[in-house]
Amino acid sequence: MAGRQKRKELLTVLNIRENNKRNLLSQLVGAAELTRNDLAQESKISLMTVKHIVDELIENGVVEERTSEASVGRKPKALSISSRYGNIVCINLTSTDSISYIIYDIRRQLLAQNTLDVQPGIAEYRMLLKSVVAEIREKLKTIPTVTVGVAACVPSAYYEAEDLVNYDLIPAFQDFHIRGFLKEEFGLDNVLVLHDVFAAAKSEYESTVPVPESQFYLYFGHGVGGSMMVQGNAVQGEDLLAGEVGKMLEVDPFTGEFQTLEEIVSVRGILERVHEKVPGIDFEEVLEEYRKGNQEITAVMDKILNTAARVLYNLVWLYNPTRFVVDSCYEEYGRLIKEKAEEFTSRIRREEILITVRIVEAKYDEYHMMRGCFRTAREKWLDLLSSEAPIGTEKGEQSPNGGKVERG
């Protein structure tokens, strides 16, 4: 009993130390330079504890110190993350039409980006992905910092243990181990594969001031998905399937038969219905004609928007979040859903029950899911840096950046 108690106390001490180290690293990543006093005041831990942690980080090459030029009089020692760190690669694998990537530095300054179009076919998609990765690796050779993480967005649930993605939208994902492929190509362990709605929801959540207690993020595009954030964490559920809102069954307002929500309100589903009346029209034209009051378009869109509004209303009752975010790859479509949902909620509101949820449009453009990928990969990297596990020095063992140890 005494041995178990002693071990428990030791683990608690280690956890506190790792947590303190993690907090200090987060502060240093978020600022150009800080002094030991700055770190102690911000983190509310003792100056001696800060000194011990900082000395260790300097010894391991994670943190650098130099004389600060910012102050007058006696120049204190300023601390910053080592200039060799770092960059993070974010790859967007959510579209059937293209693959894009962004390379950020650790403070999310843009270093490089590109988008390449996909030709139809499973083999063609995989060949393009390999070409994109090869292009990224060439770009990284021109960037004088260590790559500390890679994150890829996918358009459906990702099963981490099996390293597989649902392939209902992109057939090329069948039996394709994306994380294993990226780990081998980049030589890193800090490789993440993220459901796109989780990444986008995280970006929206963390950009809100003040950060809400909870947030539900609902996305309407070529697919339909949602993510509930509670105190900074995404609710993923059993088998990581929470958020597959598009798989909910709804009564098709045109046929009266059950269909998945995605088949009714996705861009693809809408165009299939609209093309029965107006062949060849694209989705932006659909939205424009709806705003103009085109009767044929309105007959279709009103039924679709009412379905989306009803689902949103039910999700409000189910989750009761502090904040409800509506997003779409077409900004106008997201705005129409928000307007229809507010109108629907106002029309059937019961006075004796107070609903305080704020329904808002997403803040960011199409890259906000990439920002979510960036944040998640950076957090994972900081977790690795904060770990008390010994850092290997032999080939193949882990370095502080989560990848292979580099040789001079």
273 and 195 belong to one structural domain: no
Task: Report the number of distinct structural domains present in the chain.
Answer: 3
313 and 380 belong to one structural domain: no
Residue 407's pLDDT band, with cuts at 50, 70 and 90, is very low
* Residues shown for the chain: 408
167 and 300 belong to one structural domain: no
Answer yes or no: is 404 within a domain. Answer: no
In order, the DSSP letters of 357-391 are PEEEE--S-TTHHHHHHHHHHHHHHHHHHH--SPP
Answer yes or no: is 397 within a domain. Answer: no
Tell me the average pLDDT of the chain.
83
pLDDT at 142 over 90: yes
Summarize pLDDT for 334-368 with one digit per residue, the tens.
999 999 998 888 776 655 555 667 888 887 665 67
Q: Which letter does DSSP use for residue 155 in this model?
A: S
Q: What is the token pair recorded at 244?
A: 């597959």
Mean pLDDT confidence for 69-85: 74
Question: In the chain, helix, strand, coil percent, each to 5?
Answer: 45, 20, 35
215 and 268 belong to one structural domain: yes
Residue 43 maps to which CATH number?
Answer: 1.10.10.10
Q: What is the token pair recorded at 358?
A: 């704020």
177 and 272 belong to one structural domain: no
372 and 318 belong to one structural domain: no
Residue 120 maps to which CATH number?
Answer: 3.30.420.40
Answer yes or no: is 403 within a domain. Answer: no
CA distance 164 to 177: 6
How high is the pLDDT of residue 72?
57
How high is the pLDDT of residue 197?
83
How high is the pLDDT of residue 344?
86
Full domain range(s) for residue 66 = 2-81
How high is the pLDDT of residue 392?
35
Percentage of the chain with pLDDT > 90? 43
Residue 34, beta-bridge partner list: 79
161 and 262 belong to one structural domain: no
Domain ends where: 51, 81, 111? 81
280 and 330 belong to one structural domain: yes
71 and 105 belong to one structural domain: no
H or E element at residue 234 = strand 233-234
Report which of 53, 72, 113, 56 is spatially closest to residue 89, judged by C-alpha positions: 113
Answer yes or no: is 395 within a domain. Answer: no
183 and 64 belong to one structural domain: no
CA distance 219 to 217: 7
How high is the pLDDT of residue 203?
84
How high is the pLDDT of residue 273?
94
Answer yes or no: is 204 within a domain. Answer: no
218 and 317 belong to one structural domain: yes
Report which of 301, 295, 248, 292 is spatially closest to residue 273, judged by C-alpha positions: 301
Residue 70's pLDDT band, with cuts at 50, 70 and 90, is low
How high is the pLDDT of residue 304?
96
Answer yes or no: is 396 within a domain. Answer: no
Domain ends where: 64, 81, 98? 81
How high is the pLDDT of residue 212?
87
Summarize pLDDT for 153-193 with one digit per residue, the tens.
998 888 888 999 988 889 999 999 999 999 999 999 999 99
Domain ends where: 345, 361, 377? 361
Percentage of the chain with pLDDT > 70? 85
Greater pLDDT, 34 or 216: 216
Answer yes or no: is 405 within a domain. Answer: no
Answer yes or no: is 170 within a domain. Answer: yes
77 and 98 belong to one structural domain: no
How high is the pLDDT of residue 10?
44
Q: Please name the residue that has the structure tokens 């909870």.
A: 214
**Mean pLDDT lowest for which of 87-96, 203-212, 268-277?**
203-212
Greater pLDDT, 277 or 236: 277
Greater pLDDT, 87 or 200: 87
Residue 12's pLDDT band, with cuts at 50, 70 and 90, is low
**Mean pLDDT lowest for which of 121-135, 161-175, 222-236, 252-266?**
222-236
Summarize pLDDT for 284-330 with one digit per residue, the tens.
999 999 999 999 999 999 999 999 999 999 998 888 899 999 998 88
